[in-house]
Structure 1
Amino acid sequence: MDLTTTAYGTWSGGRFMHFGETLSEDRYKECIQIAYEAGFRTFVTADVYGNGKADELLGEALEGVDRSSYCLVGTLGHDFYEGQRQGNRGYPRFTDPELRGEDGYAGYLKMACEKSLERCKTDHFDMLMLHNPDEAGYTSEAVWGGLENLRSLELTRQLGIAPGPANGFTLDLIHALEKFGDSIDWAMLILNPLEPWPVGLALPACEKFDVKVLTRVVDFGGLFFGDMQAGHAFKPGDHRAYRPDGWVEHGLEKIEKMKPIAERHGLSMVQFAAIWNLSQSPVRSVVPTFIQEAGEQARPIEARIREFAVMPEVRLSAEEIEEVKAIGDNTGCMTLKGASKRHAISERPDEWPMREDLLELAGRYELGTEW
């Protein structure tokens, strides 16, 4: 089964990524079941969430459901089997040279894939993605050869790439599409009306190489769901508390300017955000973060899931897409991850020095030279 228009991610519910209230295991599984009952037919998981626990709970929640009736997307990349957690950086990528050399990539990927499938209670993924790759993930033939081996073993039908965890990697992604485009069917990218940059720069290349796009963070940290107001108080440890001061208020001001377009099409604001993404030709699927916000006035997460399950068959015009992009323009608002002139050496797995081949690529795609 291919990915459907709406997808449900196992990072929802606060158990494995700290957003809002943390759901109990039972409620977490019930939300997955509610998502299926409401019409979600694509589920996205990552083996590193909870060191396999997210896979396990998803498998338990969908146990007994006809496997041919839903699309399962897995992601591999962080080695929590042999790697040691590095504080806020999380677990190292499996490509870390302190863990193994290129000759060990294929073996690791096969082992990690089979273990993830076992926890999900199935024998195959419909699509398997490379999760938060480091520079080797974007450039190594051994990595993509190892992933293609999983396809040949029928452990997955399709392959994809999921840059992250923060935004950036534009030149690295396009380079990977040029080099491994025959292997890459999908890319999971951060995109929403308040964050059209920098992913918007990569969409033409995705279209050129026939790579379909699954967009995450479509809800912009929950803002498009409509429950957060100016001065919203985040619980200690909530990931969104690390955003710049005033981001909620600034975002709400821009959303107000977008509301007439949403109302014109009869859309709620979260539907509008999703439809804006889906109106851009490489984007085929959207996956939000479902959050149980704190406070008595917050809507239940279950209501959010039901609201998002089935998108109206509406698409915005090219003029409307550009109008929204102009309102939400965030160009230059953050320090991007990936290759950058800022770095002389690679000190983190998500940042590395700029290369001449990437600057040449930027020139060909008219993306400028200030990276």
Structure 2
Amino acid sequence: MTAESAERRDRTAATSALGELVHDQVELSPLALGTWSGGRYMNFGEPISEERLERLLRPDNRLATVITADVYGRGAADRALGRALRGLERGSYRLVGAVGHDFYAGERLGFKGYPRFTDPRLRGPEQYEDYLRRATERMLERLGSDQLDVLLLHNPDRVGYTSERVWEALRKLRDEGLCRSLGVAPGPANGFTLDLIGCFERFGEVVDWAMIILNPLEPWPGRLCLEAAEAHGVRLIARVVDHGGLFWGDVRPGHPFPERDHRRFRPPGWVEAGLARIDRMRPVAERHGLSWIQLAVAWVLAQRPIVCAVPTLIQEPGPQARPIEDKRAELAATPLLSPLSAAEVEELALIGDNRNCMQLKGASPDHEGAPRADSWPLAERDLEVAARWGIDPVRDLRKAA
């Protein structure tokens, strides 16, 4: 333990007995910014300059929550966010950080990225706590902060969802004051439904937050976990709210996605199909005076227990592309309370229905072969979770033939 972490531990020792009360008081703003925006550390659109990114990420009273992950740029995204936060009063914004990919000792596995810290080739369970503490302390140093409002377990493998050692270590970090509350951020692709619900059931005492993929063109499978999250008191952050940029309005048929853009992994025709469905949503948007991205955010925030929406801000290539700063301003102008009725939420979900459109990650009936870091076969405990929440894995979690 470093001298700084020991001092922090001593400083919070007197109030550690109140930890269960303190960590539940964290509130995130409805609208958030993520360091995966801007194209510098994640390949969405064109990379903007460092100075533009820092201005983009600087929170204000409308966009008061900022989210980062230590693996983005091997800490570079944290440092950029730290510069963006300079001079701001700490209580004026909420800071969310995610750790879990070991880029310190692990080697990058091509497009799969860095291994999870729970990879047995890197360490055993007895070393989980040490890794999580060091990773969190280093993130805080890069951010120039003493404490995260929320610490997320980033893209866990099966061990991360189920290990007592992992979640006990995270609880200790919270009680020592490195963060105020804890959560889990599945990914990077879509799925993990039963794993996420199982994590709520096992570790609900410490899991206050979860991040899911959700937008009007991708109601599945994210909506399958809403009931379980609410029942366990877990509040949700929604990402990919923009559906790969379609809801920003400057991705059109024939769009020139840059060579390394992650959206190239999407199936052919996804732009045309998505825009056709968005056009059918237009009457609802016009009824409430909302732009496309504002409609997507409103749809997300209308559903409990989702409390925070974080679209990706993308600078698209070409002279016709909108400046990314305009997109930030449009997001900031979104109503903080969704004007959509329950009937409108379901109307949009029906238009965007994407059930069984892809093979999901995590525990899946479609998985074949040995377990991988992001995909594994269904176990008996997964089937038990599914039965408790009315989920039929064959009907609800399989890719259509």
Q: Classify the TM-score, shorter chain.
A: over 0.9
The amino acid of 2:226's aligned partner reads L
| Structure 1 residue 68 displacement after superposition | 1.1
Query: Are residues 1:351 and 2:366 paired?
Result: no
Q: Partners in 2 of 1:191 and 1:106 — Cα distance?
A: 31
Q: Partners in 1 of 2:60 and 2:338 — Cα distance?
A: 23
Q: Partners in 1 of 2:338 and 2:115 — Cα distance?
A: 42
Q: Structure 1 stretch 232-241 or stretch 87-96: which is displaced more?
A: 232-241
Contact 2:61 2:92 in 1 (8 A): no
Instruction: Identify the match of residue 88 of structure 1 among 100, 103, 111.
Output: 111
Question: Per-residue displacement from partner, 1:316-340 (whole Å, max 9, x unpaired)?
Answer: 1111111111100000001000012
Query: Are residues 1:32 and 2:65 paired?
Result: no
Q: Which residue is 2:13 aligned to?
A: none
Query: Are residues 1:339 and 2:363 paired?
Result: yes
TM-score (norm 1): 0.97
3-state SS of 1:294 partner:
coil
Q: Which residue is 1:220 aligned to?
A: 243
Contact 1:216 1:286 in 2 (8 A): yes
Q: Partners in 1 of 2:388 and 2:72 — Cα distance?
A: 38
Query: Are residues 1:320 and 2:344 paired?
Result: yes
Q: Which residue is 1:270 aligned to?
A: 293
Contact 1:73 1:126 in 2 (8 A): yes
Instruction: Identify the match of residue 295 of structure 1 among 318, 334, 338.
Output: 318
The answer to which structure, 1 or 2, has the higher relative contact order (CA under 8 A, 6+ apart) is 1
For these two proteins, the number of residue pairs brought into alignment is 369
Contact 2:116 2:156 in 1 (8 A): yes
| Structure 1 residue 310 displacement after superposition | 4.1
Question: Per-residue displacement from partner, 1:224-282 (whole Å, max 9, x unpaired)?
Answer: 01111122121111111121011000000000000101111111110000000000011
| Structure 1 residue 343 displacement after superposition | 3.8
Specify whether residues 241 and 345 from structure 1 end up closer, same or farther in structure 2 by C-alpha distance, changes over 3 A only: closer
Q: Which residue is 2:48 aligned to?
A: 23
Q: Which residue is 2:221 aligned to?
A: 198
Contact 1:5 1:311 in 2 (8 A): no
Q: Partners in 2 of 1:319 and 1:297 — Cα distance?
A: 36
Q: Partners in 2 of 1:347 and 1:365 — Cα distance?
A: 24
Q: Partners in 2 of 1:292 and 1:324 — Cα distance?
A: 27
Question: Per-residue displacement from partner, 1:163-202 (whole Å, max 9, x unpaired)?
Answer: 0000000011111100001111111100000000001111
Structure 1 unaligned runs (5+)?
A: none
Q: Which residue is 1:250 aligned to?
A: 273
Q: Partners in 2 of 1:78 and 1:354 — Cα distance?
A: 24
| Structure 1 residue 346 displacement after superposition | 3.7
| Structure 1 residue 347 displacement after superposition | 4.2
The amino acid of 1:66's aligned partner reads E
| Structure 1 residue 344 displacement after superposition | 5.6
Query: Are residues 1:11 and 2:66 paired?
Result: no
Structure 2 unaligned runs (5+)?
A: 1-25
Q: Partners in 1 of 2:338 and 2:375 — Cα distance?
A: 38
Q: Partners in 2 of 1:314 and 1:161 — Cα distance?
A: 25
Question: Per-residue displacement from partner, 1:193-222 (whole Å, max 9, x unpaired)?
Answer: 000000111111011111101000000011
The amino acid of 2:383's aligned partner reads L
The amino acid of 1:316's aligned partner reads L
| Structure 1 residue 299 displacement after superposition | 0.9
Query: Percent identical across equivalent pairs?
Result: 55
Q: Which runs of 4+ in 1 moved over 4 A?
A: none
| Structure 1 residue 365 displacement after superposition | 1.3
TM-score (norm 2): 0.90
Contact 2:359 2:366 in 1 (8 A): no
Query: Are residues 1:99 and 2:119 paired?
Result: no
3-state SS of 2:132 partner:
helix
| Structure 1 residue 348 displacement after superposition | 2.1
3-state SS of 1:185 partner:
strand
Query: Are residues 1:211 and 2:234 paired?
Result: yes
Q: Partners in 2 of 1:73 and 1:256 — Cα distance?
A: 34
